[in-house]
Amino acid sequence: MRIDIITVLPDLLRSPFSDSIIKRARDRGVVEINIINLRDYSTDRHRSVDDYPFGGGAGMVLMIEPVYNCITHLTSQRHYDEIIYTSPDGIPFSQSLANELSMKENIIILAGHYKGVDQRIRDRLITREISIGDYVLTGGELPAAVITDAIVRLLPGSISDAESALSDSFQDDLLAPPVYTRPADFRGWKVPDILLGGNTGEIEKWRFEESVRITREKRPGLLDDES
């Protein structure tokens, strides 16, 4: 898979992709992640990429020309399955959406910034707009990193234990059950006996029941969506 992220703050994105699972996935050739500086596509001698909005108002807007230049340059080299724009008014990001995107081959993510991007880009070039939550961040770089992380960890070869990703929260619309490790008794705080008995069937039944219980307590909307 190839993920190209267009941003005005490329340095902000270098660290999240330089450690842990994503670093291993990149080293193994599972994914290619390119951080593209939007200013490289500005025709202004000052490398400007933003301007005041027509009609007045506070804030600045990402200009159409550098974004258009960047996206058309990338799409002239290969086909992209999705051109994503990170925006507070996009569709909510979810595990099911991460699963869907992990099946793609090439993706562009345009990190929103300032008061947003010229609407003509959204109308004509963007295929999907995604939000990671109902709040506003300084820019779309962190959402782009979140989306990329969620996608990459699902790719075959990213995680040594592939079953681990399949048992994550939200994979089956349930939150994950409690997990424990050694020692089984720490200052009188004990691990549930069922996990120590070795009966796989009973353990899986307990884990499912705990997932349902925790989901009902913490995120009942997930169960409502299922019905």
- CATH number for the domain spanning 213: value is 1.10.1270.20
| Distance, CA of 223 to CA of 174 (rounded, Å) | 8
What CATH number does the domain containing 120 carry? 3.40.1280.10
Residues 117 and 211 reside in one and the same domain: no
Instruction: From 48, 46, 85, 84, select the one nearest 63 (Cα to Cα).
Output: 48
How do the residues of the chain divide into helix, strand and coil, expressed in percent and rounded to 5?
40, 20, 40
Instruction: State the pTM of this model.
Output: 0.87
Is 7 part of any domain?
yes
90-149 pLDDT, tens per residue? 999 999 999 999 999 999 999 998 899 999 999 999 999 999 999 989 999 999 999 999
CB 125 within 8 A of CB 64: no
Whole-number mean pLDDT of the chain?
Answer: 92
Q: Please check whether residues 140 and 201 belong to one and the same domain.
A: no
**pLDDT band per the 50, 70, 90 thresholds, residue 57:** confident
Q: What is the pLDDT of residues 63-84, one digit of tens each?
A: 999 999 999 999 999 999 999 9
- Which domain, by its residues, includes 176? 169-226
